[in-house]
Amino acid sequence: MDLNGKGSLLDPLLQSSENVTINMAQAPRRDDFKTRKIKFKIGGISCASCTASIELVVGAKEGVESVMVSPIQGHVEIAYRPEIVNAKMIKEAIEDMGYNVDEFQDKSISVCCIRIKGMACTSCSESVERSLLMVDGVKKAVVGLALEEAKVHFDPDITNPDRLIEAIEDTGFGANLISSGDDVNKVYLKVVGIHSQNDAVLVQSSLEAMEGVNHVELDPVGQKVTVTYDPDLTGPRSIIHCIEEAGQSPGLFLVSLYSAPRPREMERQHQVRVYRNQFLWSCLFSVPVFLFSMVLPMLPPYGDWLYTKIFNDLTIGMLLRWLFCSPVQFIIGWRFYIGSYHALRQGSSNMDVLVAMGTNTAYFYSLYVVLKSLTSRSFEGQDFFETSAMLISFILLGKYLEVIAKGKTSEALAKLADLAPETASLLIFDEGDNVIAETEISTQLLQRNDVIKIVPGAKVPVDGIVISGQSYVNESMMTGEARPIAKGSGDKVIGGTVNENGCIVVKATHVGSETALSQMVQLVEAAQLSKAPVQKLADKISRVFVPTVVVVALLAWLGWFIPGAAHLYPRTWIPSGMDEFELALQFGISVLVVACPCALGLATPTAVMVATGKGASQGVLIKGGSALEKAHKVKTIVFDKTGTLTVGKPAVVDRMLFSGSSLQEVCDLAAAAEANSEHPISKAVVDSAKKLNSKYNSINDRVMDAKDFKVHPGAGVSAIVSGKAVLVGNKRLMLASNVLISREVERYLTETENLARTCVLVAVDGEVSGALAVSDPLKPEAGQVVSFLASMGITSIMITGDNQATATAIAREVGITTVFAETDPVGKAEKIKDLQGKGLTVAMVGDGINDSLALAAADVGMAIGAGTDVAIEAADVVLMKSNLEDVVTAIDLSLKTLSRIRMNYVWALGYNILAMPVAAGALFPFTGIRLPPWLAGACMAFSSISVVCSSLLLQSYKKPLRVENFLNPMENGSPV
């Protein structure tokens, strides 16, 4: 284990396959920031003159700074300035010379996240997505309705975030940048002492000249500096020191951290305030309209004054309703006009179109009634101002409650993000590596390779490795694993977990956005933004639903107006104060409003948000909606053996005595002889003795000293322990040392080898006293997981590169009947494709680099959290606890989520379909029941709220399988 923060510990613990990274060999100079590199694979390079001609022609192109051609590999690497020339132009220049560019490796793709304001339904999100995809340079765009965010992959040579925001605003929605690909490591600083432009220039130039600083944003008025940096080259404390040193005199600039803004939470709170205020203002005007139209007229003589005529047939009540309704329609309801305009301009229709049509129809017909009453003494007509005002009020109430409820869908994720402690104890060393000081600093100021002390009860601030001390760390906050994990020198610790009893010293290896906690949050956020395939159904429905609703509403109006005008139904059906036109109009408006499909767009994303957040809090990291949806369809699960079904390292799984000595004494002698060996089996023997002593509460907690230690290559070891000659090894060592092998020992040897275990014999003073069976033991939960999967109708298969005998023995022990042994990585992927060819949905569970192809080939790849970064990157699901019971959890959570999504569709689409006939007046002739437009608006709002609340029920999800109480280790062959 490398304790200096090098090697694999520098690699992110979790990686998203969507991330695009550029590895830089050295710190970029200021002049290099605008230089990009691109690689092409070129076919047709046959000689040195080809190389020279490519270098000459491409190198002469304006903006190209360097060209390096490798004729053997057929690669060309070009450094260029994107403001002058782009990669496409360079590619075309090479093709014009007659060469084939077989592979265009686009390394310059950037990613940004944009907050979008004002989306109401899937039609809105589809309009934004289409607009983004039409922008030149955009490679991929995903718009999440529930998160109200867009994630865009684009070519920075062609476009930029400002252009993307402009494209969104052109569709009628507000937008602001949340983050770009360069924002991975940022520090927010308050700098007191910037009093002039010269001070600001001094601070900015000092930072920009600093090695590892990528970007500086300075606000001289607010005295705030935001610095983006490369954590491999610098860190927050170095940046603060640079600013303090920039002053012409000591203490000129006083630097401190300030809390970084949380755009998502700030925007959500802003939305809550906006909808609340709009609803309250709407109520201020709508309630009087409701009173003047529906309450006071029914309470004579209190409402009689409303019928007092002002001029001709215009009454006081009619005028008051008009005056109070107009601000609601045109000021508070202006948002619906804007949304409708932009939707129709884009050639689509959304919720705003339906609301605007319904309210405008009611309002302008009522206005016609007012004007007709004003100019006539014999006109009789009923206004619908209450319909317009109350409809807008109920829709705003629904949006207000919906925003509050949607804020709860990411609660599990928010709890994860807040796990890291605010402060850490930093150790300061002198040149001789002696601790000279200990200081408490903000966790945000920690840098890679810092050494921190973690006392009992404190949280681990960042990811790192223990360099001294021993303790037990509770990792349940991150992984859901209830039992504390022993940590000693060389063990990894995860930021956000709790140190329980001992004091440990940790060297930071991952800080800031590189920690497992931060990356888990980032991956879950990406999963919440991605669309599940089932969401495509909602998108397709929404494209035709709104036009269909408009047609149905028109037919409902005509279906009531024409028979009414032709006197085909009794006049008694028409409520007093109305005529056939007004009755038909109310039915048409009710259909427009009640069928509004805003809840349809929330059905899938809200469920996915809650499920992925809940899964992450329980140690099951699901990378996207697609994986979440596919997991419940799995009928066959393929398990790797080593490190997946088994622990992944040798351990003593059985013991046998052949003499009168106690088992503890034989194991202690064997451990003493093996203590000086580095062989994995030797370590297993020593660990077994320690566990046995611990089990029997022995005071002998240290290994006895051994003399005359010798290694016998391929056979074992020998030593003198407490005056006794001890041999620990295989049968060959015993025979070479003239130790007699009895029939009983031979029989045990044969039984052990038939179980694909390694038999280690222990001889004391020339006599075999005992034997230890060493194997890579099964994980304690493996058998129960396979059994539980079988009860779910899922077939388990094992595939391994190990030999057939070992594979068969392990499979038999765990309860798997189908085994593929001695299979290479490509063979594993091919076996999975064969299974898929039979029509099966296949999941693969693995942990190693050799499993990455199979994980990618499977319908659902599940990587063990303790596995390699390559496997984790290739997988769709990461089992953070490395516990196989979470395979069941992932499948069951998928099943529950899909069930919840279907229920959401019932609340959304089914509700609309059932309510539309009622709104259209289907029950009115038989029961007299009709749905006034304002009540239809309340029902529509209830539909959206019910969908979100339905999704929130997933917060109560509990694992179906918890393997906690195992059998006695000696009885089930687990490590002893």
**Could you read off the pLDDT of 283-319 as tens digits, one per residue?**
999 999 888 887 888 787 877 888 888 888 888 988 9
Using only C-alpha atoms, the chain has a radius of gyration, in whole angstroms, of: 36
Question: CA 276 from chain center: how many Å?
Answer: 30
Q: What's the CATH code of the domain at 755? A: 3.40.1110.10
Q: How far, in Å, CA of 940 to CA of 538, rounded?
A: 17
Final residue of a structural domain among 528, 547, 564: 528
- Asked whether the CA dihedral 191, 195, 196, 202 is positive or negative, the reply is negative
Confidence band, pLDDT 50/70/90 cuts, at residue 934: low
* Phi and psi based region of residue 815 (left: phi greater than 0; alpha: psi -120 to 50; beta: remaining): left
Q: Does 71 score more than 70 pLDDT? A: no
Amino acid at 902: R
Q: Does 932 score more than 60 pLDDT? A: yes
* Whether residue 256 sits in one domain with residue 144: no
| Backbone dihedral angles phi then psi of residue 749, each to the nearest 5 degrees | -60, -45
Q: Are 847 and 878 in contact (CB under 8 A)?
A: no
CB atoms inside a 10 Å sphere around CB 618: 21
181 Cβ partners below 8 Å, 6+ apart?
20, 110, 111, 112
Confidence band, pLDDT 50/70/90 cuts, at residue 280: very high
Q: What's the mean per-residue pLDDT of the chain?
A: 78
For residue 630, what are the CA distances in angstroms to 17, 316, 415, 533? 18, 63, 27, 9
- Choose among 165, 174, 158: nearest CA to 112: 165
Q: What's the CATH code of the domain at 68? A: 3.30.70.100
Structural domains of the chain, count: 6
* Whether residue 169 sits in one domain with residue 79: no
Amino acid at 414: A
* Whether residue 231 sits in one domain with residue 213: yes
**Could you read off the pLDDT of 399-408 as tens digits, one per residue?**
777 677 666 6
Q: Would residue 874 count as lying in a domain?
A: no
* Whether residue 446 sits in one domain with residue 407: no
Final residue of a structural domain among 416, 440, 474: 416
- Bridge partners, 818 (sequence order): 797
* Whether residue 281 sits in one domain with residue 191: no
**Could you read off the pLDDT of 223-279 as tens digits, one per residue?**
888 888 877 778 888 888 888 888 767 677 888 877 666 666 677 788 888 889 998
**Could you read off the pLDDT of 180-195 as tens digits, one per residue?**
655 557 788 888 888 8
* Whether residue 377 sits in one domain with residue 295: yes
Q: Would residue 655 count as lying in a domain?
A: yes
CB atoms inside a 10 Å sphere around CB 199: 19
* Whether residue 448 sits in one domain with residue 346: no
**Could you read off the pLDDT of 131-146 as tens digits, one per residue?**
898 888 888 888 877 6
* Whether residue 394 sits in one domain with residue 297: yes
* Predicted TM-score (pTM) of this structure: 0.60
Token pair for 899: 């069930």
Q: Does 14 score more than 60 pLDDT? A: no
For residue 535, what are the CA distances in angstroms to 145, 150, 625, 730? 11, 16, 9, 61
DSSP alpha helices (H): ranges in 376-433?
385-407, 411-417
Q: Would residue 315 count as lying in a domain?
A: yes
* Whether residue 450 sits in one domain with residue 410: no
* Whether residue 443 sits in one domain with residue 366: no
* Whether residue 401 sits in one domain with residue 277: yes
- Choose among 503, 479, 473: nearest CA to 491: 473
> Which structural domain, as residue segments, surrounds residue 737?
651-775
Q: Would residue 329 count as lying in a domain?
A: yes
Q: Would residue 727 count as lying in a domain?
A: yes
More confident position, 168 or 408:
168
Going by their DSSP bridges, the two strands 758-764 and 213-219 should be labelled as unpaired
Q: Would residue 307 count as lying in a domain?
A: yes
| Backbone dihedral angles phi then psi of residue 453, each to the nearest 5 degrees | -105, 135
Confidence band, pLDDT 50/70/90 cuts, at residue 12: very low
Which position has the token pair 């040392």? 737
* Whether residue 396 sits in one domain with residue 284: yes
Confidence band, pLDDT 50/70/90 cuts, at residue 72: low
| DSSP letters spanning 278-335 | HHHHHHHHHHHHHIIIIIGGGSTTTTGGGG-EEETTEEHHHHHHHHHHHHIIIIITHH
Q: Would residue 751 count as lying in a domain?
A: yes
Our CA angle for 296, 298, 299, nearest 5°, is 65
Final residue of a structural domain among 775, 804, 835: 775
More confident position, 358 or 948:
948
Q: Are 5 and 462 in contact (CB under 8 A)?
A: no
**Could you read off the pLDDT of 610-642 as tens digits, one per residue?**
888 888 878 888 877 778 888 888 999 999 887
Q: What's the CATH code of the domain at 509? A: 2.70.150.10
Q: Would residue 484 count as lying in a domain?
A: yes
